[in-house]
């Protein structure tokens, strides 16, 4: 099986069958070999640097009803909030002073946040922080809306495809959402000029190895700048409350494969990974990840943005825990840097 890992590193691609074979054949020893190769590739492109992004969770309102997500509109127990422009700008200011040079505005698809409101806040951030990247992660919008945000100064957009197989997509989402639209959004974003992030959940209900192989082939085709993957974690107020969580082990393996397939990729060691394993983020970095996204949202709303159970929202996860995070990274031989952290190459 090492041969398939070597082939992926050398040729930057595998066939569907080869991905299925490799993923199914994984053992702890094979994973160690994969991570060693993934680190070598990562070091050649990004050295030991770890980029940080300040995550601002702008709204917990959502018009969608994704079956896995705690913010789904049917969840009457979800605590809803929406940040004001002033609150967002204050979060950016606090983040800038801490050394963040990327701000990520993420949220549910909140109908009360109009394009004009977003353009206004993007323009203000752009003007005040010329040296920073502005990232949006606000779900599916029209080409025109994406273009407006881009013209206002946004640089990057995160929109996970969630799963690259229609039948599987339909099991995770309500019927009004489709993989086709999701993909169209991703191609629109790329055409406009955004640095694009996609990604998928690992271990989501009914996911097969074949589904994961399709995720890899879709990403090989899309060639995004960033890919976020994290384990599925159940939320008690969703239809998937009783579904088992995804595993750290498989998430890390997929992460290593991604690094070999797309060497320049920005890969976050995600909050979900840090939630199901205390050392999840360090493990993610050691498997080839190079980005961490601490939470910059005002402290009082953090626990309300509950997309899954037990989401970490204090200590190391918060921006105040940055010093601790720096030490944790140093311990494993990596350093958090003050930089926009753009994708190298592509
Ligand atoms: N509304 C935005 C942001 C969604 S939250 C959008 O649609 O892009 C960001 C990511 O969290 C999602 O893309 C999804 O992959 C992940 N997520 C949501 N619920 C989850 C769960 N229960 N377990 C693990 N990850 C989850």
Question: Are 308 and 275 spatial neighbours (Cβ–Cβ below 8 Å)?
Answer: yes
CATH number at residue 216: 3.20.20.70
Beta bridge partner(s), residue 102: 133
Total domains in the fold of the chain: 1
Task: List, in order, residues 6 or more apart from 112 with CB less than 8 Å away.
Answer: 59, 61, 82
The range of the structural domain enclosing residue 264 comes to: 2-337
Question: Which alpha helices (DSSP H) does 129-279 contain, by range?
Answer: 143-152, 166-172, 179-192, 209-222, 248-261, 271-276
Predicted confidence at residue 345, as pLDDT, reads: 77
How far is residue 116 from each of residues 40, 46, 163, measured CA to CA in Å? 45, 37, 31
Predicted confidence at residue 36, as pLDDT, reads: 98
Length of the chain: 346
- pLDDT category at 320 given cuts 50, 70, 90 is low
Higher pLDDT: 170 or 324? It is: 170
Q: Confirm whether 247 is domain-assigned.
A: yes
Q: What is the pLDDT of residues 110-166, one digit of tens each?
A: 999 999 999 999 999 999 999 999 999 999 999 999 999 999 999 999 999 999 999
- pLDDT category at 314 given cuts 50, 70, 90 is low
Mean pLDDT of the 242-249 span? 98
Q: Confirm whether 344 is domain-assigned.
A: no
CA of 2 to the centre of ligand 1 (A): 33
Quick one: which atom of ligand 1 is closest to the CA of 138?
2
215 CB within 6 A, ligand 1: no
Q: Strand order of the sheet with strand 49-52?
A: 291-292, 49-52, 335-337
Mean pLDDT of the 38-45 span? 98
CA of 70 to the centre of ligand 1 (A): 9
User: Which residue carries 């969630």 as its tokens?
Assistant: 162
Q: Confirm whether 345 is domain-assigned.
A: no
Q: Confirm whether 15 is domain-assigned.
A: yes
Quick one: which atom of ligand 1 is closest to the CA of 199?
15
Of 180, 202, 189, which Cα lies nearest the Cα of 258? Answer: 202
Nearest CA to ligand 1 atom 2: 139
pTM of the model: 0.97
- pLDDT category at 268 given cuts 50, 70, 90 is very high
Q: Confirm whether 209 is domain-assigned.
A: yes
Beta bridge partner(s), residue 228: 199
Q: Confirm whether 343 is domain-assigned.
A: no
50 CB within 6 A, ligand 1: no
């Amino acid at each position: 099986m090492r041969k398939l890992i070597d082939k992926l590193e050398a040729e930057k691609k595998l066939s569907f069958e080869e991905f299925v074979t490799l993923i199914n054949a994984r053992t702890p020893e094979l994973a160690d070999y994969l991570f060693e190769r993934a680190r070598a590739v990562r070091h050649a492109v990004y050295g030991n640097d770890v980029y940080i992004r300040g995550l601002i969770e702008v709204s917990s309102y959502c018009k969608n009803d994704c079956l896995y997500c705690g913010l789904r509109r049917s969840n009457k127990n979800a605590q809803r909030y929406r940040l004001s422009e002033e609150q967002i700008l204050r979060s950016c200011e606090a983040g800038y002073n801490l050394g963040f040079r990327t701000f990520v505005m993420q949220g549910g698809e909140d109908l009360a946040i109009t394009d004009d409101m977003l353009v206004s806040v993007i323009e203000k951030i752009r003007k005040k922080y010329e040296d920073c990247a502005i990232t949006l992660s606000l779900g599916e919008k029209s080409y025109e809306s994406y273009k407006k945000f881009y013209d206002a100064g946004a640089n990057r957009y995160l929109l996970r495809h969630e799963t690259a197989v229609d039948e599987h997509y339909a099991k995770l989402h309500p019927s009004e959402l489709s993989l086709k639209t999701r993909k169209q959004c991703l191609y629109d974003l790329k055409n406009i000029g955004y640095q694009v992030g996609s990604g998928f959940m690992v271990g989501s209900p009914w996911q097969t190895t074949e589904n994961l192989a399709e995720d890899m082939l879709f990403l090989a085709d899309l060639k995004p700048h960033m890919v976020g993957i994290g384990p599925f974690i159940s939320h008690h107020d969703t239809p998937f409350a009783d579904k088992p969580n995804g595993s750290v082990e498989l998430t890390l393996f997929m992460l290593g494969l991604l690094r070999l397939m797309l060497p320049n990729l920005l890969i976050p060691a995600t909050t979900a990974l840090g939630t199901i394993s205390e050392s999840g983020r360090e493990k993610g970095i050691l498997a080839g990840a190079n980005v961490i996204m601490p939470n910059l949202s005002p402290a009082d709303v953090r626990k309300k943005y509950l997309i899954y159970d037990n989401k970490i929202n204090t200590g190391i996860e918060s921006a105040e825990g940055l010093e601790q995070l720096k030490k944790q990274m140093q311990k494993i031989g990596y350093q958090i840097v003050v930089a926009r952290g753009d994708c190298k190459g592509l």
